[in-house]
Amino acid sequence: MGACTQYSSPNRNTWSQYLYGASFSDMTETTKTAKLPVYMGHGGKIVTASGALSPNMQYGDKNDVDNTVLVNYMAKMEYELYDSLRKPGISVQRAGTDIVVILVRDAIMSVDIADISSDGADTLDIITKILNKYNATFLEIAGYTDSMNDKNAANALSLDMAQRVGVYFAQNKVSTSRMFIVGRGSARPIAAQDDIGRLMNRRVEIRISPAR
List all residues 6 or more positions away from 196 whose beta carbon is below 8 Å from its beta carbon: none
Domain covering 22-210 in this structure, CATH number: 3.30.1330.60
Q: What is the pLDDT of residue 154?
A: 86
Alpha-carbon dihedral sign for residues 129, 132, 138, 142: positive
pLDDT of residue 191: 61
End-to-end CA distance of the chain: 31
pLDDT for residue 197: 52
Tens-binned pLDDT, residue by residue, of the chain (212 aa): 544 568 899 999 999 999 999 999 999 999 999 999 999 999 999 997 655 444 455 455 556 666 888 999 999 999 999 999 999 999 999 999 999 999 999 999 988 788 999 999 999 999 999 999 999 999 999 999 887 768 898 899 999 999 999 999 999 999 999 999 999 988 877 665 655 556 678 899 999 999 98
What does the pLDDT read at residue 189?
72
Contacts of 111 (CB under 8 A, 6+ apart): none
Are the C-beta atoms of residues 189 and 176 closer than 8 Å to each other? no
Q: Say if CB 145 and CB 202 are below 8 A apart.
A: yes
Residue 165, H or E segment:
helix 151-171
**Residue 109 to residue 203: CA distance in whole angstroms:** 10
